[in-house]
Amino acid sequence: MAKHASSKSVKPPVVVPSSEDLDALWARHSALWRDTAQITSQWQDASALEPTLLKYRVKGAWWDVLARLKITLIVGREYEHLLLGVSNPKGVGPSVSYMPVPHPSGIAVDRKNGIVHVASTRNPNQIYDLVPINATTERLDVKAKTPLDKPLTPVRSRFFPGCLYMHDLAMINDVLHANAVGQNAIIRIDPHGSYERVWWPKCIEESGKPEFGQNFIQLNSIAAGKSVKDSFYSASSAKMSARRPGHKNYPVDGHGVIFSGKTREPIAFGLTRPHSARLCQLNNKEYLFVDNSGYGEFGFIDDGSFVPVTKLPGWTRGLAICGDVAFVGTSRVIPKFAQYAPGLDVNASICGVHAIEIKSGKILGSMIFPWGNQIFAIDWLPVQQSAGFPFLISRQARDNRTLFYTFSTTIHNGTK
C-alpha cells in the first residue's frame, strides 16, 4: 500500500537580509517621491516629462493680444497630461509654464476668489483646486523670495467615481458644476467631495425615469448662466439609441444639439460633435458661442442654427472669451475617431490655441505645439492674480524645492 505524502506544509527557509542589502533597499525607498512635480500632481511619472511636448511656436500678434488683455491663459492638454500657463506680464515678457496633471479635462476659473479648478478624468476622477502662491514663510535654514509671478499650486484634490466621466467644469452662481458625461447629467460639486445631480435632458427619460447608467448622448459642455436653468448644454445627440458615443457607427454628422436648461429640450440643431459652449455678453447682447468640433469651426447660435465665425485647422475644442477675443483650441484628430470629423482634413489638423477677433473672425495670433496632440479646455485669469505655474519653460528655471518648502497661499477676492 502506497504511503500518502505528509499533509504538513513545508515552510520556505527564512532568508535573513544582509545589512548591505537592507541599506540598498532603504536608500531606494528614501530616494522615491522627491520630485516636486510628482508631489504636486500625485503622479510618480510626472518627473519623466518629454521635453518635445513643451516646444511651441507663435504666429501673428499672439503675445501682444495677451499683453493687451492682461490675462494668463490656462490650457489643458489631456493626452499629454499637461496644464500650461501662458502670459505676457508687463515688464517681464512672454512666460510659458506648466504643471503635470493626469489627463486634465474641464477647467473653470473662479476669478472672484482666485481659484482654478481642473478636472482629472481618469478612474477615479479628481478635481484639483489651485491657488496663487502669494508669499513665502520666513525660515532660518533657507532664504526664499516671494515669487513675483504668483505661480498656481494645488491646495486640494477631491476624488470622485470614474463613472462620472467628468468633462466640462463651470461656475454657476459661484458654485462649481460639472458634466457627468457618463451619467448624461449635470452635477453640483460639494466642497467636501460629494456631488448631486441637478439637471438632465428629457431625452434620457423613459416612462418618466432618467437613465443615468451609461453614456448615451455625450453631454459634454456647459454654457454657464446665472442658474442651472439659465444655462445651456451641448451634446452629440438629442436621443438615446443602441449606438453610443465611442462606437464606430455612432452617427455624428449634423446630430449635435444645444439643450436649454429651462425646457430640457434642444434649442439648436445641426451641429457635429459640439463642445465648449459658452455664454458671453457683447455689445449689450448675450451670445451663445460653441465649437463645432467635427468641422473645425467656432461660431454662435442664432435662431436655432449654428453660424460659423471662423474655421480652423483642427478639431475645435476648448473656448475662453475675454473682451472681444475668443481663444479657441484645435487638436489633431485621433485616427480611430476620424469618422467623428467629417468636415476636417485629418492629416492637416494641428494642436494649438488661436486668438480670434470675434467681430471679424480674424485670427490675431496662434500658439502652435508641433509635437502636441489634444487641447481639451481653456480658461483665463487676470495676470496680476497669477502668471502661470511653478515649472517654467520660457525663462530660467526657479528653485522649486525651496519654493514648495516655504510657499504660502492666500485665497483672495477679486484681483487685489
The yes-or-no verdict on residue 410 having pLDDT over 80 is no
Give residue 7's pLDDT. 57
> Would you place residue 413 in the very low, low, confident or very high pLDDT band (cuts 50, 70, 90)?
very low
3-state secondary structure of 149: coil
Q: If you average pLDDT over residues 161-172, what whole number do you get?
A: 97
- Whether 258 contacts 268, CB under 8 Å: yes
Percent of the chain with pLDDT over 90: 80
Which H/E stretch holds residue 215?
Answer: none
The DSSP code for 212 is: -
Grid cell listed for 223 = 454654457
- Taking residue 110's Cβ as centre, other Cβ atoms within 10 Å add up to 18
Residue 354: which of 294, 301, 409, 309 has the closest Cα? 309
- Whether 95 contacts 392, CB under 8 Å: yes
Q: Give per-residue burial for 18-46: e unless 16+ CB within 10 Å, then b.
A: eeeeeeeeeeeeeeeeebbbbebbbbeeb
Q: Which amino acid is at 148?
A: L
Which H/E stretch holds residue 402?
Answer: helix 400-406
Give residue 192's pLDDT. 87
> Would you place residue 415 in the very low, low, confident or very high pLDDT band (cuts 50, 70, 90)?
very low
Residue-wise pLDDT tens digits, 23-65:
998 888 888 888 888 888 888 888 788 889 999 999 999 999 9
Give residue 4's pLDDT. 54
Of 92-96, 125-129, 230-234, 311-315, the poorest mean pLDDT is in 92-96
Rounded Cα distance between 33 and 172, Å, is 37
Residue-wise pLDDT tens digits, 7-17:
567 777 878 88
Residue-wise pLDDT tens digits, 103-133:
999 999 999 999 999 999 999 999 999 999 9
Give residue 416's pLDDT. 41
Give residue 366's pLDDT. 98
How would you classify the pairing of strands 377-382 and 71-77?
antiparallel
Residue-wise pLDDT tens digits, 253-282:
999 999 999 999 999 999 999 999 999 998
pTM attached to this predicted model = 0.92
Q: If you average pLDDT over residues 384-411, what whole number do you get?
A: 87
Among positive and negative, which fits the CA dihedral 91, 75, 226, 357?
Answer: positive
Q: Compute and round to an integer the Cα radius of gyration of the chain.
A: 24
Residue 110: which of 45, 190, 167, 175 has the closest Cα? 175
Give residue 395's pLDDT. 58
Residue 276: which of 340, 322, 320 has the closest Cα? 320
Percent of the chain with pLDDT over 70: 96
Q: What's domain 55-71+101-116+155-379's architecture?
A: 6 Propeller (2.120)
- At which residue does the C-alpha cell 457683447 appear? 282
User: What is the average pLDDT score of the chain?
Assistant: 93
* Cβ burial, residue 57 (10 Å; 0-12/13-18/19+): exposed
Grid cell listed for 403 = 519654493
Q: If you average pLDDT over residues 160-176, what whole number do you get?
A: 97
Q: If you average pLDDT over residues 373-392, what whole number do you get?
A: 96
Main-chain dihedrals φ then ψ at residue 231, nearest 5 degrees:
-95, 170
